[in-house]
Structure 1
Amino acid sequence: MFGSRKAIVFDPYRGRRRRSVPAWLLLLMLGIALGIAAVVTVQHKLLPPRLSAADSHALRESFTKADAERERLLHERDSLQQQLDKTNAEARKRDTALGAAQGAAERARADLAALLATLPPDPRAAQNAVEVRIGRFTARRGSLDYEVVLTRRKAAKPLAGVMQIVVAGASAGGKPTTLTMEPVILSVEGHEIVSGSMRLPDDFTPRQTTVQVLDRPAGRSLGRRVLNVEGPSA
């Protein structure tokens, strides 16, 4: 019973087994490391570089300026649109006024055509290219006011010429006198109303006028009519 004895060695870690790291954990950590490396590589090679603090500040300032410029342009656009709307409204108003004026002019032309149709014909209408339909001459001290209506048959283009007025009357002492006025340049298409005033000597008393339409000064006669002067001269 006590014949053999064995030495007993004291081991504090006796009974504990060494455990190794699981393979799945190693693989997980390796995958995480590879993922981080891939992200860093992509950021450096493919993505834009990261901005520094100064670059970020400059970018914010640029954005602020661009936004302010955009607001200014929007304000200018709204202002220009208002001006455009105002201009269009004024243009429409002018168009309306123009249309009314054109309508009034058309009515006036129609009234004038109707009035001309009632005027007495020129006694020499068959011989004249231009008819002197009617005329009014009013004597004043030192002047003679006139208004003459001329007509002609429809033609392809207006007829250019002059109107020559010869005034017959008496000067001081009753001496018969004839005055030839300066020719009035005119162009007659369908009708022409010629009016004005001519200077006369203060001592001249006009009584009668001869209205002549010529193709040029001292040229061929296109129409002629004798008309009396209204009103005494003082």
Structure 2
Amino acid sequence: MWGQNKPVVLSYGRPRSRWSLPPWLVLLILGAAAGAAGVVYVQEKHLPPRLSASASAELRNAYEQADAERRQLRADLEATTQKLQTAQAEGKKLGDDLAAGRSSTEKLRQDLDFAVDALPPDPRGGTVEVRAGRLQRKGAGVAYEVALTRAGGARPMNAVLQISVSGIGANGAETRVVGKPVPLSVGAYEIARGVQPLPEGFRASQATIAVLDRPDGRQLGMRVLYVK
């Protein structure tokens, strides 16, 4: 009764275990588990299925290949665009050159018309006039250039040109060489060029230029010119 006093413990219910968890920690664990279960549910039911490692690798390879093809297509497009721009520039230049060529051709045609009109008239006249000519010895032949005109020659007319060359043959006798008819088309004007072959040793002095409607046909024009 007079010894050491001991504390008096009052118990009001079932004693708590030494290892029991506090209620707030239990609620925290339950909330985390519910959240994880919700995430799993959403992933399984509402989101696309997750890819495996091999499928992810294949998808990445496909993406890289598609990206490489895209870059290649872009490079090809840029190269094609450059070629198109170059072709357009060349086309414009060709168009300008063509326009300049047409202008130059028109000027040459006008100059030729003026030059032909300035030629002296054919003294013999005829349907086809031999306005001018140049004949020169060339090897064993005669090179000729003859300017022919025809009134109302808007529509070309078919004819033949026949050249007869007179001169001294190899035997010293006066000889005449008749060439083969050369077909031509005579419009308002025509420049006939060619070489009339002659026998070896023949010395030409003059030539008769005859325009016929056909070989051995009707004469349309004629002129005698000297051979230089």
Q: Name the TM-score class by shorter chain.
A: 0.7 to 0.9
The runs of at least 4 aligned residues of structure 1 exceeding 3 Å deviation read 43-48
Kindly report which structure 2 residues correspond to 1:173-184, keeping only aligned pairs within 5 A, or say none: 173-184=171-182
Name 1:139's counterpart in structure 2: 137
- 2:149 and 2:188 in contact (8 A); partners too: yes
Name 1:22's counterpart in structure 2: none
**One-letter amino acid of the counterpart of residue 11, structure 2:** P
Whether 2:207 is the aligned partner of 1:209: answer yes
Task: Give 5+ residue unaligned stretches, structure 1.
Answer: 1-10, 15-24
Q: Using the alignment, how far apart are the partners of 2:97 and 2:204 within structure 1?
A: 45
Name 2:49's counterpart in structure 1: 49
- 1:150 and 1:191 in contact (8 A); partners too: yes
Deviation at 1:162, TM superposition (A): 1.5
Name 2:104's counterpart in structure 1: 104
Name 1:80's counterpart in structure 2: 80
Identity of aligned residues (%): 43
Q: Deviations over 1:33-60 (max 9, x none)?
A: 8x939x836x556653332221111111
Kindly report which structure 2 residues correspond to 1:1-234, keeping only aligned pairs within 5 A, or say none: 12-13=11-12, 36=38, 40=41, 44=44, 47-125=47-125, 128-230=126-228
TM-score normalized with structure 1 length? 0.75
**One-letter amino acid of the counterpart of residue 69, structure 1:** E
Name 1:4's counterpart in structure 2: none
Instruction: Look up the SS of the partner of 1:40 in the other structure.
Output: helix
Q: Using the alignment, how far apart are the partners of 1:140 and 1:55 within structure 2?
A: 90
Q: Deviations over 1:82-121 (max 9, x none)?
A: 2222222222222222222222211111111111111111
Instruction: Look up the SS of the partner of 2:64 in the other structure.
Output: helix
TM-score normalized with structure 2 length? 0.77
Q: Using the alignment, how far apart are the partners of 1:191 and 1:117 within structure 2?
A: 10
Distance 1:192 1:155, change over 3 A: closer
Task: Give 5+ residue unaligned stretches, structure 2.
Answer: 1-9, 14-26
Q: Using the alignment, how far apart are the partners of 1:75 and 1:188 within structure 2?
A: 59
Q: Using the alignment, how far apart are the partners of 1:46 and 1:216 within structure 2?
A: 99
Q: Using the alignment, how far apart are the partners of 2:212 and 2:100 within structure 1?
A: 38
Q: Using the alignment, how far apart are the partners of 1:156 and 1:172 within structure 2?
A: 45
Deviation at 1:70, TM superposition (A): 0.8
Distance 1:140 1:55, change over 3 A: closer
Deviation at 1:186, TM superposition (A): 1.2
**One-letter amino acid of the counterpart of residue 154, structure 1:** G
Distance 1:57 1:166, change over 3 A: same
Deviation at 1:158, TM superposition (A): 1.4
**One-letter amino acid of the counterpart of residue 13, structure 1:** Y
Q: Using the alignment, how far apart are the partners of 1:221 and 1:151 within structure 2?
A: 15
- 1:141 and 1:202 in contact (8 A); partners too: no
Q: Using the alignment, how far apart are the partners of 2:193 and 2:47 within structure 1?
A: 89
